[in-house]
Amino acid sequence: MVEPMHSLDSYISNYLGNKASVEEKFMTAATLRLVYQLSFGKRVLNLGLGNGIVARSLDRICESQHVVEGSKLIIDRFSFKSERTAFIHSFFEDFTSNRDFDLILANHVLEHVDDPVNILNVLADKHCRADTILYATVPNAKSMHRLIGKQMGMLDSVYSLNSSDVRAGHQRVYDIESLKSHFNQSPFIITDLGGYNLKLVSLAQMEDWSDELLNAIFEVSQDFPPDICSNIWVKAKLK
């Protein structure tokens, strides 16, 4: 097992306590809706364990799953025993495998890493066949709640890192053009792009919102331009 050179364990707090509940009901639930059909019967490379819900859900439907996570504490807290799913404590850049993958999931990964283009290059070089699908999601700088935050003087720019970004270990906030730019610098070509979820306020302020309301927001967001959604997704393949 490859050991990361420095610890990412401090980020476990993002998946514990009250915040995790709204993350699960709003963000994680949306992710599952988006990736479920893509993952069915597939060999999946899942970058990041997070709160473990996506990995546990995909374990029921995929052929196999490799989950690569940089925090040992997160693995200890959220991993589970399964013949289908393997958990690897490693930086994404350092992970190697003799398996090929049908699907690579990079759910809220690229905003965290030091060099997103390098990550994309590594994935292309080590883990992709010609027909491998890469599915990536990132927060959107031009989300309505960030535009409102800037208007209220809470953000200097929609690209500024707020306190929630810092706690989560974000290093950047993407818009559609900057996300496209990083993919254009990589061996991947984007084949489809969209957005999901709508936010007027922070997740903390949404904690008491009902499941029905959160589900309705996701459904409505599918008909909105991705530019103003709270998150952007892309589907890509090798050029």
Q: What homologous superfamily does CATH list for 9-238?
A: Vaccinia Virus protein VP39 (3.40.50.150)
Q: Looking at residue 3, what DSSP letter applies?
A: P
Closest CA relative to residue 195, chosen from 168, 169, 175, 214: 175
Buried b (16+ CB within 10 A) or exposed e, 44-69: bbbbbbbbbbbbbbbbeebebbbbbb
Q: What is the rounded CA–CA span in Å between residue 120 and residue 118?
A: 5
- The Cα–Cα gap between 180 and 169 comes to 22
Q: Which helix (H) or strand (E) holds 87?
A: strand 85-89
Output the pLDDT for position 167.
85
Mean pLDDT of 2-16: 44
Q: pLDDT per residue over 143-160, tens digit each?
A: 999 999 999 999 999 999
Contacts of 178 (CB under 8 A, 6+ apart): 141, 172
For 110-146, letters b (16+ CB in 10 Å) and e give bbbbeebeebbbbbbeebbeeebbbbbbbbbbbbbbb
Query: Residue 187 contacts by C-beta under 8 Å, 6 or more apart in sequence?
Result: 120, 121, 124, 125, 238, 239
Question: What is the residue whose two structure tokens read 């393997």?
Answer: 86
The two structure tokens encoding residue 143 = 């989300």
Average pLDDT, the chain: 90
**Position 203 confidence tier, pLDDT thresholds 50, 70, 90:** confident
Confidence of residue 162 (pLDDT cuts 50, 70, 90): confident
Task: Specify the pLDDT at position 12.
Answer: 43
The CA R_g of the chain, rounded to the nearest whole Å, is 17
Q: What is d(CA 162, CA 165) in angstroms, rounded to the nearest whole number?
A: 5
Q: For residue 28, what is the DSSP state?
A: I
Q: What is the pLDDT of residues 109-151, one digit of tens each?
A: 999 999 999 999 999 999 999 999 999 999 999 999 999 999 9
Q: Could you tell me the residue ranges of all domains in the chain?
A: 9-238
CA-wise closest residue to 68 among 82, 79, 58, 57: 79
